[in-house]
Chains A and B, each alone.
Chain A
């Protein structure tokens, strides 16, 4: 089945640093989503991307939908301690009969104050 490769698996950074993570797939998607999961909670949607090449921001977060439709990246600028959590990418082909999300394995972010 479809699989997503998400990297890096974990990151340990200093407060104020920028963060970059990415996701690649062997298959194309027509939607890329980025979720954040805080400890003890379920994933929460951060950014959704619908078009190849699209660049979307949400505060300090910026995500891009790769031009090949097989990859996406998420950048976090000027990290703060509350950015701690696991970030998941997810690909989806909506419009089909199923449209289930395919998730990456996550990037665990730790921020040192």
Chain B
């Protein structure tokens, strides 16, 4: 099925470890986004990309890095995980800037940092 695929679905990290979350979309969307979701906080934008080779900071970018080497993939990296990064991470994509059809979301990655 066409859509946004996130891997892994679950991960437990020790404080200080690093990891990369992968997001892949097969809809030929230009724009891709990484959000984190915490109880009572809604969805907060971490980083986004407006096209292959570009990235930009969102609302809560500290402690994360991203790369968009291929149009269909958007990677989110944690260089040195902290307990405050325990969250559910969602990737999303859209056809263009401010498409009136909103975003298509992946099913999320649940990350626990101990």
Which A residues fall within an 8 A CB radius of B? 1, 6, 9, 31, 33, 35, 40-45, 48, 50, 88, 90, 92-101, 103-106
Contact = CB atoms under 8 A, between A and B. Distances in A.
Nearest to B4: A42
A31 B99 CA distance: 9
By DSSP majority rule, is chain B's interface helix, strand, loop, or mixed? Answer: loop
Interface residues of B, number: 25
Contacts of A95: 97-98
Contacts of B101: 45, 48
Interface of B: 4, 33, 40-43, 45, 48, 58-59, 90, 92, 96-108
A92 B90 contact: no
A100 B58 contact: yes
Given A103-B42, A103-B43, A104-B42, A43 B105 contact: yes
Given A94-B98, A96-B97, A101 B42 contact: no
Nearest to B59: A1
Contacts of B108: 40-42
A103 B59 CA distance: 12
By DSSP majority rule, is chain A's interface helix, strand, loop, or mixed? Answer: loop
Nearest to B97: A99
B59 A31 contact: no
